[in-house]
Structure formats: C-alpha cells, structure tokens
Copies of this chain bind each other. A is one copy, B any other.
Amino acid sequence: MADAERTSGFAPSDQLTPEELQLATRNHGMPLEALRHAITPIGLHYLLIHYDIPVVDADTWALEVGGRVERPLSISLAELHQRPQRTVLATMECAGNGRARMEPRALSQPWLLEAVGTAAWTGIPLGSLLAEARPHRDAVEVVFRGLDRGIEGGIEQDFARSLPMEEAMREEVVLAYELNGQPLPPQHGFPLRLLVPGWYGMTNVKWLTTMTVVDEPFTGFQQARGYHMRRDDDDRGAPLSRMLPRALMVPPGIPDFFSRRRAVDVGGCRLEGRAWSGHAPVSAVEVSTDGGRSWSAADLDPPPPSPWAWRGWHLSWDPARPGEFELCCRARDDAGNQQPVSATWNMGGYANNSVQRIPVTVRDPAAAPGASADRT
C-alpha cells in the first residue's frame, strides 16, 4: 500500500465497497487536466446526483413560490426567460471533495480531488423574485425543493435545502436556466437550479420545483442531518456552507494509464493550476516540489472576471536531474484561511482541503532510447 499512498493520497484501511464503486461510476469528476480551462466545458464539470436525474416536461413545469409570502407565485419557464437576466461565473465544489483521502473513509461518493468545475450560470436574480413574492416579516429561511426523489438515511425525500433570508437576498444568487450559454443540461438541473456562488455544491438545488418561505429553520434531511461536520455520532456538528480554499495543479508531463504516475523530462516544465475559496479572494498560492518541505510562491494570473471564480496560477520548474519528486500546492485567501497539510477528520468526510500531492518521475529522455518506439 505504500506505493498506492504516494500515487493518490488514497490509503484505504477498508475495502472500497461495491456501493462506493456504483456511485463513482455514475457521478462525474473533472479530470484535472481540465483545470486548463478557465470555464469548464459542458461535460467536464463535476456532477454529484443524489438520486436519479428526473424527467421534466418543460412545457408543464412551473416554479411555485409560496409559504410565508404575501403574493404566492407560479412562474413558467417561458415567463422566467422574459425577466431580466444575470450571468454569474462561479466555481462549484462538492462538499465531499477529498473524502476518499480521509482515513478512516466515510462511506459515500469516494471523491479524490476532482469534484469541482467553473461555469457561467445565467438566470434571474433570486432576490428579485423573492421581493416580488413579498415575504412576511417573520420569514427566516427559503426552502428550495428539487424534483429528484429518493431514500437516504432511511427517509424518503425530495432533495431539499434551505438558505437564510439574508443569504438568499445576496445579489450574486441566481436561479439559473443556462450553463455556459446553453440551456441547462438534464444532469445540471434542467430546467432551473439554484446557484449560490461561494457555497459548496449541495446548496445549489437542481431541478427546482418549489421555493417555500418559512418562519423557522428547515429541518429536512439534507439540511439538518447531512452536510454537517460531525466528530462522532453524538455530535450534531456544524453545517457546511462556504468552500474552504483549495489550489489544484494540472498534473504535468504524461501519465501512466493505470497508475496515473507522471513522467516529466529533464529541462524545464511549467506548473499551472487554479485556486479558489468561498470565503474571500485567493491571496496566494504556494508550490512545493519536495513533498512539502519547502514552498515557493506561484505567480497569480490577473484576478478572474468574477470574485466567485477560481484564479489561475503558474510557476516554472526546472528539475535539473532525473529522480523522484512530489509536487504539492496550497492556497491562502484574503480572510486568512490556508490549506492544511491534513484536514480535520469528520464523519461525513467533508471539506477535506488538504494539499494535493502529485508524484512525478523526472527522466532524461536521452537515456531512454526506446521510449518512443511505438510510432508508425
């Protein structure tokens, strides 16, 4: 297992279960070389779908806004399209990103590092719709309910989450019907989803069908039981909200198909990646080429066009000799949050933003005459 640990940072003490494999084969990670794209192409953005992708008839679908409001609303997709729109560029990460790198491992979708993506989300500002519905003065939260239905923790449920009123009214929060300029694909929540820039992915309810203004905190499964940082069974835990900082690197060189171990030629290499935080803009990215013993500041690209999108970074690396190296990167944000070498263990395997580690073999191409033999 020693080699496996070096390869992926994944060191399972228990067998990866058939259930985890089922989840891994249906949910999609973003291959890390896609960090090269400032906006993740459709089909490369990560996807985590709790139940099934529901079938939605756009002609009969309507968004229902109700609960503690003076003017309940029912709005068709065509009507939504006629309202003033806004596009928000935002990085979205699953709260479970890094789960399979925690020890012992929580049993759920076994993400390593790839549960992330950045997209241009177009829709209507949530605040404008809420203002139109005129929440009562006792309103404390809005509950967002999707059409995706399943069983979790023994409870049959539609996927549903809530937001405090003050978060829901923030100007950057939208109900999105387009992704990267195209109608929302089925797997991203067609015809409408919530998008709360800066928050972990579970917040962004897909296949939205109802918004209910409530006068006490929502106690649904995904809000009160799931997505909490719990130390043990007796700990109610703290709810997850905004993304902790993380830098990721495009794995340099070329991979071995099975091990994914990287081979880089002697003589200079550009290291690059992107970094984000849901708390504040990224203020620094540092890179280590010796497994974290020493760190160098990377150059940050110009700030992204949106404060909610990841920021590019790069650094030249000139490995002068062949050998084995371990590349790492870590981000810091303006609020003083810094990626840890190892994150706080918790029962759900959430928010593991410990530094990425990429084992690399630097080789002398002149010393490997057979390396390119398989050419026509």
Seen from chain A, the residues whose Cβ lies within 8 Å of a Cβ on chain B are: 4-5, 7-8, 10-12, 15-26, 28-29, 31-34, 36-37, 41-45, 47, 49-53, 55, 67, 100, 107-108, 110-112, 114, 143, 145, 149-152, 155-158, 160, 185-188, 210, 212, 214, 218, 220-221, 251, 254-260, 263, 368, 371-376
Contact = CB atoms under 8 A, between A and B. Distances in A.
Contacts of A254: 51-52, 149-151, 156
Contact of A156 (B31, B36, B374): B374
A89 B151 CA distance: 36
Contacts of A376: 67, 143, 145, 160, 210, 212, 214, 218, 220
Nearest to A162: B376
A359 to B, nearest CB: 12
B4 A43 contact: no
Copies of this chain present: 2
23 contacts: A7-B18, A7-B19, A8-B18, A10-B18, A10-B22, A15-B16, A21-B24, A21-B100, A24-B24, A25-B29, A25-B112, A41-B185, A41-B186, A42-B43, A43-B187, A43-B188, A150-B257, A151-B257, A152-B258, A156-B374, A160-B376, A210-B376, A214-B376
A187 B143 CA distance: 36
Contacts of A263: 151, 156
B374 A155 contact: yes
Contacts of A110: 21, 25
Contacts of A251: 52
A34 B12 CA distance: 31
Nearest to A52: B33
A19 B334 CA distance: 36
A45 B19 CA distance: 22
Given A186-B44, A187-B41, A374-B156, A7 B33 contact: no
A25 B111 contact: yes
A284 to B, nearest CB: 26
A145 B131 CA distance: 57
Contacts of A15: 12, 15-16
A34 B190 CA distance: 13
Contacts of A31: 26, 49, 52-53, 187
Nearest to A111: B25
A251 B53 CA distance: 12
A43 to B, nearest CB: 4
B19 A258 contact: yes
Nearest to A108: B258
Given A31-B52, A143-B376, 14 more contacts: A7-B19, A16-B21, A25-B111, A26-B31, A34-B187, A41-B187, A44-B186, A51-B257, A52-B254, A150-B254, A155-B373, A156-B368, A156-B373, A220-B374
A152 B376 CA distance: 17
A258 B156 contact: no
A25 B158 contact: no
A118 to B, nearest CB: 15
